Amino acid sequence: MDNPAAARSPTTCWRANLTDALGDGRSAVVVAPGGVTDCWERAARGGMAPVLVIAATERALDRRAEALAERHDLIAAAVHGDLRADALTAVREQLAAGHYDVALVPGRHLGDPRVRAALEAMPARLVVVERAHRLATHGWEFDPSWLRIATLIEALGPPPVLAATEVASAAACDEIARRLGIVDALQIVSDLAPGNLRLEVRNLAAMRDRDRNLLALMQDAPERAVIFVADLVEAERIAEMVEERCGIATGVFAPGDGAVLRGFRQGSVRALVTVTSLEPGADVPPVPLVVHYDIPPGLEQYVRQALVAGRDGAPATSVLLYDRATLPAMERRALGRLPAPGQLLAIYRAIADADGSALPYATLSRLTGLHPLDVHLSVEMLCLGGAVETAARGDEWIAARAVAQPNDAIHEASMQLDGLMRARQEHMEQIVAWIRSSMCRRRSLLQRLGHDGPEEAEGSCCDRCAPEEVGPLPDAPAPGYPLHVGDLRGWAVDLYRRPGDVQPASKAGELVHALKYQRADGAAQRLAWMMAKRVRMTPILRSCDLMVPVPPRDQADVRSPAALLCEPLALLCKREMVHALVSVGERLPQESLTSWSEKKRNISGAFKLAAGVDLADRTVLLVDDIFDSGATMLEAARVLRSAGAKDVCMLAAVRTTSRWRRET
C-alpha cells in the first residue's frame, strides 16, 4: 500500500496485532471478510468502553444490543432517529453519564441533529466504523452519510478509530483513512482469496447457456449453495427453475427477509437466490458452492459474494457465469441509476413542499423513478450542499426543510456524480479485464485490488491453473417468470419493461405493446405460440382443462388483448375456451393507480359470471396480456372459485418488474 504505516499481517496473528494496537490507542483500517466484531467487543470488555459503533443499517440494532448484554455483559444502546424525542433525550443523558458500554447508531442517522447531539455527549474511548468502504468513492457503495463521521470523531476528542470492511482495494483503504483523519493508522488486510476456495469463470454464449450451466451445477446436489443475481424478478425465476428442475428446496432472499435465511440455516432451504451480499459475519452454515449468475459490478463486489463459500475452511467453489452479451445490461444497471439534475430538483421541491414533515424514500422513488439507494444519495448531496436542512431522519425517510436555492448544491452534486460514474466505469472495466485475463485468477485478483498476492500459480486454486472439463449440460428450460399473488400461482412468458428500466424491452414485451396499443393481430398469434410452449412445459398449467380470458374494462371491447391471445392459445393447447367472466360497473384503469390497496379496492366487485356458464369441477387457466400487481387476476379467480371452479392458475404474456408491497 502507498501508506508507509500500512501493514499486512498474517491471517493467524492479525487479530492479536489489532487488539494490541487498539490497546495502545492507535487507529486501524482493517479489511477482513469475517468482520472484526470480536475484536472491538474484546476491547470494550478490556477497559476501552464506552465504544461508539457506526453501523450499516438500523435493522436489527435492538437485537444486537440485547445480544451484547446476553453474551458479553456489555450494556448497549441503539440510538437512531426513529426513537421518540423524549427517548432520545433520555438516551443522551445516560450516554453522557457513562451508563452504556456500547452505543450503536446507523450511519445514515448521523445527519439527524438530535442523534448527533446524543452521540457528542458520549465520552467514547473507541469509535468503530462498520462498512467503512462507504467512505470511499473508490468503493462501490459510497454513501455521503459516512462523510459526517470525521467531524463526529473530532468532536469526541478524538478517540482511536477502528474502520472495518469485509473487502476493499488498497486505494479505498487509503481513502478511508484520509476521510476519517487517521492517516497514520495501522492497515491490516486479511486473506481475500483463501487457498480452500477455487475461483472459476465459465465463458458462455447466451442466457440459455447460463441457465443450463446453473442447472448442471445444481444437479450435482451440493449440500448448500448461494446464487447471486442482479435482479429480484430474475431471482424469482431462477429459484422456481432450480426447484422445479433439480428438486432442491430454494428460497429468494432480500434484505430483511429473516424467514428465508432461517430456513437456509436450518436446512429446509438448500439453495439461496439473493440480490444482495450477505452481511459480514452473517450466521449462515458452511456453503460449498457460490454461483454468480450475473457479472458483479466490480471486483470488490465479486469478492464479497465469492467469500460466502468456504468460510469453514473446507474446499469450496465460486463459479461466475460470464456471457459477454450481458455487459450492456451490467453497464445500464451501474450507470443508468445515478440521479440527473432534474431528479435532484424534483427531490428538492418535494422536500420544500413537505416543509419539515416526514417524507418516505418510497414516495421520492415513485416521484423520480430512482432506486431508493439513489434517492438517499440525492438527499444526502442536497443536505451536504446546504440546500436542505435536516430536522430528523431514519433509514428510509427524512424530515427536512429547504433553506437555500438548490442551484449551487445541484451543480456540486452533478460534479460529484460525474466522479462516481467514472469510478463505477473503472470498476466494470476492472472486473471484465480480470475475467478475460490468462493469469492465475487468485494472483490476478489480489494484484488488481492492490494487495499482495502469490508469486506463482497455486495448484487447483482456479480454472486457469487447473482447468476442469464441463460435463454434458441439461436442456434449457422454457422461458418464463413465475407469478404469485395470494394463493394463486402461474407463469408469464417474459418481462414487460417500463420506460426508465435498466433493461431493454423483451421480444414478448414488444409484441404485447403492438397488440395492446396497435391492435396487431399477428402479434397475438406469435405470443400465443410462446405461451403454449410454457403451458406444455409446466405441469400446473398443463393440468388446466378450460381457458378463460380476463374481461376488458369496457365489456363492449370484443377485441381485448386477453381475448385475442386466448383464442389461438386454446387452439394450440387443444383446450376449451369460454368467456366466463363479464365486467360490471365503472372503474378506473388499473395502470393509473399507484398502490396495491388502491388497485385492490378499484377492482373489487368488477366481475361477475357470464350467463349459462358451468364451472363445476373445472380447472381454469386465467389468461391475460400483462400481469402487474395481480389484483385483477385475484379478483377474477375469486369469482371463478365462487362459481365452483376446482382450481385456478394464471398465465400472462408478460409481467412487469414492479414490486408491489402488500398491505395487510
pLDDT tens digit sequence for 94-124: 999 999 999 999 999 999 999 999 999 999 9
Is the pLDDT at 497 greater than 80, yes or no? no
The phi, psi pair for 365, rounded to 5°, reads: -65, -45
The fraction of the chain above a pLDDT of 70, given in percent, is 92
- Alpha-helical regions (H) of 469-506: none
Is the pLDDT at 658 greater than 70, yes or no? no
User: In sequence order, what are the residues at sequence separation of 6 or more whose Cβ sits closer than 8 angstroms to the Cβ of residue 131?
Assistant: 56, 107, 141, 164, 165
Using an 8 Å Cβ cutoff, are 339 and 417 in contact?
A: yes
Using an 8 Å Cβ cutoff, are 192 and 451 in contact?
A: yes
Name the residue with higher pLDDT: 663 or 293.
293
pLDDT of the residue at 74: 92
pLDDT of the residue at 500: 44
Is the pLDDT at 42 greater than 70, yes or no? yes
Name the pLDDT band for 498 (thresholds 50, 70, 90): low
Name the pLDDT band for 558 (thresholds 50, 70, 90): low
Name the pLDDT band for 57 (thresholds 50, 70, 90): confident
Chain Cα centroid distance, residue 617: 42
Given strand 126-129, what is the order of strands in its sheet? 76-78, 102-106, 51-55, 126-129, 161-165, 28-31, 186-189
Is the pLDDT at 660 greater than 60, yes or no? no
Cell, residue 124: 467514547
Is the pLDDT at 279 greater than 90, yes or no? no
Cell, residue 578: 369460454
Name the residue with higher pLDDT: 280 or 516.
516
Average pLDDT value over all residues in the chain: 86
pLDDT of the residue at 139: 64
Nearest 10 degrees: Cα torsion 205, 211, 215, 216: 0
- Provide mean pLDDT across the span 348-374: 89
pLDDT of the residue at 616: 92
Query: For 410-463, what is each residue's pLDDT tens digit?
Result: 898 888 888 888 888 888 999 999 999 999 999 999 999 998 765 554 567 899
